[in-house]
Amino acid sequence: MSAPQRLVVVGAAGRMGRAFLEAAAAHEDLEIIGAVVKSGDDAARRTLAVETPSGTKEWRPVEDGVPLLAGADAVVEFAEPAATARYARAAAEAGCAFLSGTTGLDEAAKRALEEAATRVAVFHAPNLSFGVAVLSDLVREAARRLGPGYDVEIIEAHHRMKADAPSGTALKLLDAVRGARGALAAVHGREGRTGPRPDRQIGVHAIRAGQIVGEHTVLFAGPGECIALEHSALSRACFAEGAVRAVRFLKTARPGLYGMDALSAAETGDRS
């Protein structure tokens, strides 16, 4: 058996970080050698622990994971755009693959990913669910086949603590519609006397409430009918499983910037 893939997890105390710890710790081919939390986070003063079939696994969190990268094969980051940029650069310097599931990236973070991808394998996806990847394909096909006679609206819902809106997944779905229908003007919510809906407009609406994990609906409304394509995340396990599969993909990937399409093609053998 080959040596396990050594991982440093950035944002380990967050919702997705903990979900990834739980998923990865159950696999013998993955070894988490570092759990990184935000500077000043109370989580730095306590052990992070998850239950696995073989027993409890624990990590003492650190606030700076860069020194750990010398012994790592990959960095897995679920934090914030500033951390995305910092650890992408650090991973490239250390020769580590880099996976980020952070959304709402600013231009600095996007540029850091692109620059790191010239040196190491980089994987970024605003949503690591394979169900959402399929939804995106279905949305693109529906937009193409239904044509301009059908209005399109995107509605997304997340928990009250989510920092960015619209979600990265909603923006990906918007890109899927535009890929089939060309340039559509996005309007984020409506208020007042807006007048009749323009032909080449698409509404994008964000809901933030309670503990909603993630819900996305793309509505196509045409003459006498409506079609709704939906995805609901019942837990973060679907994202964590996608991240596990993406990390394994990175083990043999060449330098470059990858996403869910590349992962799906690699697993299915579809090179089209």
Q: Residues with catalytic annotation?
A: 158, 162
Q: Distance (Å, rounded) from C-alpha 223 to C-alpha 9?
A: 49
Among positive and negative, which fits the CA dihedral 51, 259, 122, 126?
negative
Q: Distance (Å, rounded) from C-alpha 139 to C-alpha 230?
A: 10
CB atoms within 10 A of CB 204: 20
CB atoms within 10 A of CB 244: 19
Q: Distance (Å, rounded) from C-alpha 102 to C-alpha 113?
A: 12
CB atoms within 10 A of CB 186: 15
CB atoms within 10 A of CB 181: 18
Specify whether the CB–CB gap between 208 and 165 falls below 8 A: yes
Give SS3 for 74.
Answer: strand
| Single-letter amino acid code for the residue at 163 | A
Q: Whose CA is closest to 6, among 79, 94, 96, 88? A: 96
Longest dimension (CA), the chain: 66
Give SS3 for 46.
Answer: coil
Specify whether the CB–CB gap between 109 and 101 falls below 8 A: no
Residues across the chain = 272
